[in-house]
Amino acid sequence: MIEKILPSRMAVEEAFSDPPGAVLFPAEEELIRGAVETRRREFTTARHCARRALGSLGIAPAPILKGRRGAPIWPPQTVGSMTHCTGYRAVAVAHRADVLTVGIDAEPHAPLPDDVHETIALATEQRRERELRREHPGIHWDRLLFSAKESVYKAWFPLTQRWLGFEEADIVLHSNGTFTAGLLPSATEAALAAGSAAPPSAFNGRWLVADGLVVTAIAVENTP
């Protein structure tokens, strides 16, 4: 599903259920010690998908641990992103020579709670959402906006090692299955001050709604 909105150079694995044969490395078990069963299944299946995707790139199975702010630590010279929600898990990976950064997200295609929407949406984004709802009422644009912001953060963090608040990215959703994300000056200036080399000022992404899910993706390809 999500491979439809990612470059062909990326290796993608997804699961709509949790395979009973999926196992964790001991170091991964430590990360999930004491977690509830739902969280354990999500975590295990996501890493199962990750190893399958990395295997298609010729990379042997290994633990996928957590780095700063819980971001997955990918093998050297690779980039990747994970996502999971009820009934869906997905991973996208690539060689760093092909893709600079990637961020993916999946959400149930359902309205966001009002209190969440007010927290994550800028006034400009809410205005554009209202216009989109009038033209395309079958799409939950609020949930799509949330997912796009999650993908932006996942693409941004590996490049800057800096937190990005929901209010620091202005997302323009397009009805043709694409979106653009402008990073506000506060984000790029803070990243520069923290030592990030040339943080991105914008991202382009794609989205898809199908099978009761909304998925979004950003992949910045390396050009020769």
Superfamily of domain 2-97: 4'-phosphopantetheinyl transferase domain (3.90.470.20)
* Res 92 pLDDT > 70: yes
* Res 188 pLDDT > 80: no
* Res 70 pLDDT > 90: no
* Res 214 pLDDT > 70: yes
Confidence of residue 114 (pLDDT cuts 50, 70, 90): confident
Q: What pLDDT is attached to residue 194? A: 66
* Res 153 pLDDT > 80: yes
Confidence of residue 224 (pLDDT cuts 50, 70, 90): low
Give pLDDT tens digits for 26-58: 999 999 998 999 999 999 999 999 999 999 999
Confidence of residue 197 (pLDDT cuts 50, 70, 90): low
State mean pLDDT over 11-23: 94
Confidence of residue 124 (pLDDT cuts 50, 70, 90): very high
Confidence of residue 198 (pLDDT cuts 50, 70, 90): low
Confirm whether 2-97 and 105-221 share one CATH topology: yes
* Res 223 pLDDT > 90: no
Q: State how far Cα 130 lies from the chain centre.
A: 25
Confidence of residue 199 (pLDDT cuts 50, 70, 90): confident
The CATH code for residues 105-221 is 3.90.470
State mean pLDDT over 129-146: 96
* Res 163 pLDDT > 90: no
pTM summary value: 0.93
Q: Where are the domains of the chain?
A: 2-97, 105-221
